Structure 1
Amino acid sequence: MMSAETSYSPPASIKVLGNDDLVGEILSRVDSPTTLVRAALVCRRWLRRASDGAFLRRFRASHPPRLVGFFVTGDWMPRPEFVPMNTDLTSAASLRRTAGSVLHAFPEFSSPGVCDSRDGRVLFEFTDGARGPRRLAVLRDPAAGAMAKLPPRPSALTDRYHAALLPDDNATTCYHVDVHHVGRNVFVEVTVLRSGVWSVCCSAKADLTTPPGGIIPKVTLLAGGKVYMVTVAAYIICVDLATANLFAIDLPEGVTYEHFGTLVPCRGDDSVLYIFHAKGDKLSVWLRRMDNDNDQQLVAGEWVLRDTVSVKETCGHLVEPGSELASVVGVGDNAEFAFLEMGVGDNYFVIYLHLGTRKAEKVYKRDPDNDEIIQVHPFMTVGPPVFRLEQF
């Protein structure tokens, strides 16, 4: 019989699961991001561990999102095309089938297009009926091929429509960005769809030092709770959704927007913004941390040149002599890869370039009769989740 003086020894399971470091080791070894989300729902202690920035960086390194294929979209195309990429993932085959078949869910003459793609989700726009308004639909669960048409916004500001974007988190369905600018004055309204209801997320305005000239919708992105919009002028407009601040970020010296595909922003982890800049034979990649920004009109950017690529040396063997870099038509998160359009005459191709390995391959041939802008949206496996503690 145990005496009263005998100290209580907790079970081994409690010793393990009550140790934050050991719990972190266990969570880092789960088989998928989906399993990590389920584990994070066990208790707030596990959620705090799973949402830690250092932990998520390590988890991403061991469970990186993989490129399954890409959507090609353009004004001339009656509907997007899905192009599969070779990968050894077991689940890739089903994801490729889903991506290839989901386009058939749209009725004829609905003119579907791709607005955004991230973490296995795809946001489409389409026409509701032969002459109906533009609507949105989202592929939420790529494994099941579940696509849902989204409710229309109560009041569509058609003359101010700028972009529709997928969120950073799973609690939100999508964002809609409306922009209006006259001279130096810029007004942005962002609406959000949550639980089937549209509401205004934020309204922001500012008198910028220099008129934007034009704000480019096809290269607008959402990252880290901020919307970034490329302008014809030498800066990027940023709208902080949490503070409703609108300000401009100066571009690095020598980096300018000349035409579509010469300046493309890219999402990064830990509040990092990347930009791809194409000029002549050179492709440069810049990065800038965004977590210390404020609401100044022109924020002094601390840009760092991460990489410079000679397109002729890395991709020249894939195309005819005399081919030039036409544009950057798509990029991967964290500047992992880029899709470049290159060619000469009637032979223009999309080249996939992995920045780390410098591996390049020809993945798509452009229709010679098409002289419109095309855009590539990478379709990835599900990446590490983004947890927001205030939601729990």
Structure 2
Amino acid sequence: MLPPVHGKVFVVTGFGYTLGLDLAAATFVMLQLPAGVQYNYMLSSAEGSGIYLVTADRFQLSVWLHQMTGDNHGAGGWLLMYTFSVLEACARLAGDSWVPCEYLNVAAVGDNADFVFLDHPSSGVIFSVHLNSRVVKKVYQRTADEHECRSVAVRISPVMTIWPPIFPAPNIGHDQESCMLDIKNLFTFQ
């Protein structure tokens, strides 16, 4: 589930729309999906105020934006940001494990639709696509045992953090200080 966007929490349904709960007014909002989108999509919160919808139709990725401004519940509708094919890159990266099939599954989408993880069940390969630069990378190859369970959905939980990580300074207590003094005294040569 997405974090609240402009005071609304959104949930994907299997009925051709996204359901939103306006937390302030305690009312429900229904957002119809873009034309042609029925399944194989995920939502991502947009920086500022809105939501992205990333969908895969066979090997064609499409990214849609729905702005959430004012009290009109985003009546502006979905705006197609970009669409492109990843077939050639996926086939090249999968190498010998490539098995032609008709589709990719959208497994996870990062914040601001920066990246998407795609599952190619026939080949057992997980791809990462940086959507702005359109760079495709192979990030995981299932083993033969894992590959047997094609019907099992892949669960990916992307975690983002600052880099490099910043750790707090160690807090040295009184017991540790006296211990350090004793160790220093042990190794003092006269």
TM bracket (short chain): 0.7 to 0.9
1:369 aligns with 2:148: yes
Which amino acid is 1:375 matched to?
R
Do the aligned partners of 1:341 and 1:350 also contact (CA within 8 Å) in 2?
Answer: yes
Map Cα deviations across residues 157-210 of structure 1 (whole Å, 9 max, x no partner): xxxxxxxxxxxxxxxxxxxxxxxxxxxxxxxxxxxxxxxxxxxxxxxxxxxxxx
Pick closer, same or farther for the CA change 1:274–1:339 going to 2, 3 Å: same
Equivalent position of 2:130 in the other structure: 354
In the alignment, is residue 339 of structure 1 matched against residue 120 of structure 2? Answer: no
- The whole-number CA distance in structure 2 between the counterparts of 1:227 and 1:248 is 11
**How far apart, in 2, do the equivalents of 1:241 and 1:249 lie?**
16
Deviation at 1:301, TM superposition (A): 4.6
| Secondary structure class of the residue paired with 1:222 | coil
Runs of 5+ consecutive residues of structure 1 not aligned to the other structure: 1-219, 384-392
Partners of 1:335 and 1:294 lie apart in 2 by: 23
Give the superposition deviation at 1:270: 0.8
Shift of 1:323: 4.3
Find the aligned partners of 1:270 and 1:244 in 2 and give their Cα distance: 22
Give CA-to-partner distance per residue, 1:208-265, whole Å, 9 cap, x none: xxxxxxxxxxxx32232321111111211001222212110111111112xxxx0111
Cα distance in 1 for partners of 2:9, 2:30 equals: 11
Within the candidate set 265, 269, 276, 2:43 is matched to 265
Distance 2:11 2:23 in 1: 13
Distance 1:321 1:373, change over 3 A: closer
Question: Identity of paired residues, percent?
Answer: 37
Conserved? CA contact 1:351–1:360, under 8 Å: yes
Name the aligned partner's letter for residue 135 of structure 2: K
Which of residues 19, 43, 51 is equivalent to 1:237? 19
Which amino acid counterpart does residue 305 of structure 1 have in structure 2? L
Q: Secondary structure at the match of 1:334?
A: helix
The amino acid across from 1:310 in the alignment is S
Distance 1:276 1:340 in 2: 11
CA-CA distance at 1:294 after TM superposition: 3.9
Question: How many aligned positions are there?
Answer: 155
Matched residue type, 1:348 = G
SS at match of 1:325: coil
- Counterpart for residue 19 of structure 1: none
Q: CA deviation at 1:292?
A: 2.6
| AA aligned opposite 2:12 | V
CA pair 231-322 structure 1, distance change in 2 beyond 3 A: same
Question: Does the aligned pair in 2 maintain the 1:314–1:358 contact within 8 Å?
Answer: no
Structure-2 separation of matches of 1:368 and 1:314 = 21
Match of 1:255 in 2: 37
Deviations 1:364-385 (A, max 9, x none): 12311333112211111159xx
- Displacement of 1:307: 1.2
- Give 2:140's aligned amino acid: Y
The 5 A counterparts of 1:49-198 are none
C-alpha contact 1:250 1:300 (8 A) present in aligned 2: no
Check the 8 A contact 2:59/2:104 in 1, yes or no. Answer: no
What whole-Å deviation, never above 9, does each CA across 1:15-68 have from its counterpart, x for those lacking one? xxxxxxxxxxxxxxxxxxxxxxxxxxxxxxxxxxxxxxxxxxxxxxxxxxxxxx
Alpha-carbon distance between aligned partners in 2 of 1:272 and 1:329, rounded to the nearest angstrom? 21
Q: Is 1:235–1:248's contact at 8 Å kept on the other side of the alignment?
A: yes
Confirm or deny: 8 A CA contact 1:251 1:301 kept in the other structure: no
Looking at structure 2, the residues matched to 272 and 321 of structure 1 have their Cα atoms a distance apart, in angstroms, of 37
Q: Which has the higher contact order (CA 8 A, sep 6+)?
A: 1
Contact 2:119 / 2:154 at 8 angstroms: preserved in 1? no
CA distance in 2, matches of 1:368, 1:294: 46
Contact kept, 8 Å, 2:41 with 2:53, in 1: the verdict is yes
2:85 is equivalent to residue 310 of structure 1: yes
Runs of 4+ in 1 over 6 A off after TM superposition: none
Q: What amino acid maps onto 1:302 in structure 2?
A: G
Letter in 1 for 2:36: G
Distance between the aligned counterparts of 1:294 and 1:358, measured in 2? 33
Residue 239 of structure 1 contacts residue 245 of structure 1 at CA under 8 Å; is this kept in 2?
yes
The Cα of 1:325 is off from its aligned counterpart by 3.2
